[in-house]
Structures are given as structure tokens and as C-alpha cells.
Amino acid sequence: MADAVANAGADAGSVADSASASRGGSAVTGHGFSLAGRVAVVTGAAGLLGRRHCAALAAAGARVVATDLDEAACAAVVREIGGRGEGGALPWAADITRPESVAALRDAVLERCGAIDVLVNNAALNEKVESPLASGEVLRFENFPLALWEDSLRVNVTGTFLCCQLLGAEMARRGAGSIVNIASTYAMVAPDQSLYRQPDGTQTFFKSAAYPTTKGAVLALTRFLAAYWGGAGVRVNALSPGGVENGQDAGFVARYAARTPLGRMADPSDYEGALVFLASDASRYMTGANLVVDGGWTAW
Ligand SMILES: NC(=O)c1ccc[n+]([C@@H]2O[C@H](COP(=O)([O-])OP(=O)(O)OC[C@H]3O[C@@H](n4cnc5c(N)ncnc54)[C@H](O)[C@@H]3O)[C@@H](O)[C@H]2O)c1
């Protein structure tokens, strides 16, 4: 995939190309998948998938702004992707739950990169079976602390709202842009809690109610903004990944794989093609959609 994306990046593209493409040129043989000349902001860039999103967008030619809570972690991502993309990638620490922090991010991107063409709202709180919270029953619905519920809403919903409001409004002012909101299979179907049950019947991990609730809200916000900004040239779509294999115990991985038509958990690279597609003109007639990339998890 990296090679395919890199080849796409070899072609120069621009907002002007996008306009001419929408008058009937081919999105595939033209500059459709290229992000050359585009500036792409990725939140949660230092996380498991965020760093892969940054690498994929850079390989397609974008100048990537890698933003996360920790400055050193953002800089490490930029080093990892080799500063690829016109002008080199930019690390920027920001807390998406704080309006002044998101406004500072927007101003820095505009000052250093000149424009915002792509926004990937990827940052989220996502309790994971391999995380420390997995020990104890704190995630069980009956016990789930109000503070964790509110933290999830603040990062996953309010953070996405603020980034759309402050960075997306800049796209709307310019009349072009693509926003990709990262949702989840659990935005569409409920977590099957039996997946987390050990063969001996014990269970200490539960997927919380907060995660699917916030991801469902991300889909609703995506549709709202697609309708709201359709006339302003800003496309807003969601990408819904399935579970990524990341050091979980073998029993969990096997149970997940058995429930997945393609027979395995995702590799972090499995989302690169879909992300570049949504970010680029290849998806130029798509807005308000939810692109599901889950190995078939939600198909049955
Ligand atoms: N990993 C999976 O299996 C999976 C499956 C489906 C959907 N997703 C979604 O994909 C996205 C990325 O998941 P991941 O597994 O890479 O998560 P992750 O936990 O590895 O990374 C999330 C990143 O968001 C950052 N973040 C948290 N709060 C923030 C804040 N207030 N401001 C700025 N950044 C903040 C964290 O520092 C972290 O680097 C999430 O939206 C997640 O819900 C992941």
C-alpha cells in the first residue's frame, strides 16, 4: 500500500485540479489520489493509528501536521515519517478539548503552511483490552465512573467538534477541504462483551458504554457538517475502523478473528488506502458517508 500511495503522491495536485476534476476529469487517471500541495492535519498523531495516518498522507504527497498532547511525541512522529511532503512535516502539541489550544494549532498551521486542506479527527479515548484499565471491573456498565464518561465525551465528541469548528471553518472560508472523522465499528453495532470473556468464564474487561456513544455522535456530527458545508466546498466523511491487533492475548485475537469474515484483526496499515481515498479528490463526490473498513465485522 505504501508504494501505491507513494506513486499517487508523485503526481502534483491542487485545489484547482480538484475544481477541474469535478467538471468531469477522471479521478483515477488524473491527480485523484495525490495529496501533493495539500496540508493535512492529523490529531492523535502519536497514537497507534495516528502515526500510520500521518505516514500514509505524507506518502501521498501531503505536508502533514502531526498534533497530539505531547510535543516530543509529535516530533518523534515527524522524524518517523521522514519529514516527507512538500515543506516537511510539522509537529505541534495541542489539547483538542481546549478551544485556545485548537485555535493556536490553527494559527500555527496557517502561519507555517499557508492553508488547511485536510483534517483527520483521529484523537480519542479508547479503552483497550491491552490497556491498564483492563484490570478490575471499573469498565463494567454498572460501575463505570462518571468522570471517565465525561472524559470520553470531552475528547471524542467535544474535541472533534472544536477541531471541525476552528479548522473546518477555515476550510469553508477558503471554499475547499476534506475532513475525515475517525469513528468505529462500535458507532454502528454494540460491543459483544463475550469477546472479552476468558475461557474459564471470568471477565475483567468490558467495552464501556462511553466509547460507542461518542463514536455514534461522531457519525451524527459528520452528517450534520456534510450537509452544512456541502455548498462551501468542504467534504466531511467518517472512516470506521475495526479492531487492530496490538499485543492482545492470543485468546482474544483468536476470538476476534473468528467473528470477522476476513478471519483476522486489522493491521494498522489496513486503513491507509481508505484514509488517502477520503482525504483526496478520489472521493470528490462523497460527503456525509461512513466508510467502513472492518474485515466484514459489521456485515453479519
Ligand atoms: N485501535 C483500534 O483498534 C481502533 C478501532 C476502531 C477505531 N479506532 C479509532 O481510531 C482512532 C485512533 O485509535 P488508536 O488505537 O490509535 O488510539 P491511541 O489511544 O493509540 O491514540 C489516541 C491518541 O489521541 C491522543 N489524545 C488523547 N486525548 C487527546 C487530547 N485531549 N488532545 C489531543 N490528543 C489527544 C492520545 O495522546 C493518543 O496519542 C481513535 O479515534 C479510535 O477510536 C481505533
Write out pLDDT tens, residues 171-220. Answer: 999 999 999 999 999 999 999 999 999 889 888 888 999 999 999 999 99
Ligand 1, pocket residues at CB < 6 Å: 43-44, 46-50, 68-69, 95-97, 122-124, 126, 155, 159, 182, 184, 241, 243-244
> Does residue 25 lie in a domain region?
no
> Does residue 52 lie in a domain region?
yes
pLDDT score of 153 more than 60: yes
Alpha-carbon torsion 160, 166, 172, 174, what sign? negative
pLDDT of residue 140: 87
Average pLDDT on 3-11 reads 40
Average pLDDT on 129-154 reads 83
> Does residue 4 lie in a domain region?
no
pLDDT of residue 3: 41
Q: How far is CA 176 from the centre of its chain?
A: 19
CA atoms lying within 13 Å on the CB side of residue 36: 14
pLDDT of residue 6: 42
Domain that holds residue 45: 31-295
> Does residue 205 lie in a domain region?
yes
Write out pLDDT tens, residues 85-95. Answer: 556 899 999 99
Q: From CA 31, how far away is CA 162, in angstroms rounded?
A: 31
Write out pLDDT tens, residues 239-298. Answer: 999 999 999 999 999 999 999 999 999 999 999 999 999 999 999 999 999 999 999 999
Residue whose cell numbers read 470473556: 197
Q: How far is the CA of 47 from the centre of ligand 1 (A)?
A: 6
Look up residue 112 and give its three cell numbers: 507555517
What residues are annotated to the active site? 211
Question: Whose CA is closest to atom 15 on ligand 1?
Answer: 48
pLDDT of residue 204: 80
Quick one: pLDDT band at residue 7, thresholds 50, 70, 90?
A: very low
**What 8-state DSSP symbol labels residue 44?**
T
> Does residue 148 lie in a domain region?
yes
Q: From CA 291, how far away is CA 182, in angstroms rounded?
A: 10
Write out pLDDT tens, residues 98-133. Answer: 999 999 999 999 999 999 999 999 999 998 887 766
Overall domain count for the chain: 1
Residue whose cell numbers read 474535541: 159
Which of 41, 49, 270 to probe ligand 1 with, by most ligand atoms within 8 A of CB?
Answer: 49
- Sorted by sequence, the CB contacts under 8 Å of residue 279 that are 6+ apart come out as 35, 38, 40, 57, 60, 62, 118, 120, 178, 180
Q: How far is the CA of 118 from the centre of ligand 1 (A)?
A: 18
> Does residue 5 lie in a domain region?
no
The partner residues of 63 in beta bridges, in order of sequence, read: 39
Write out pLDDT tens, residues 10-59. Answer: 333 444 444 444 455 666 666 699 999 999 999 999 999 999 999 999 99
Domain with residue 45: its CATH number is: 3.40.50.720
> Does residue 144 lie in a domain region?
yes
Return the ligand 1 atom nearest residue 49 CA.
Answer: 16
Rounded to a whole number, what is the largest CA-CA distance in the chain?
61
Q: How many CB atoms lie within 10 A of CB 29?
A: 8
> Does residue 138 lie in a domain region?
yes
Return the ligand 1 atom nearest residue 70 CA.
Answer: 37
Return the ligand 1 atom nearest residue 265 CA.
Answer: 3
Question: Whose CA is closest to atom 21 on ligand 1?
Answer: 47
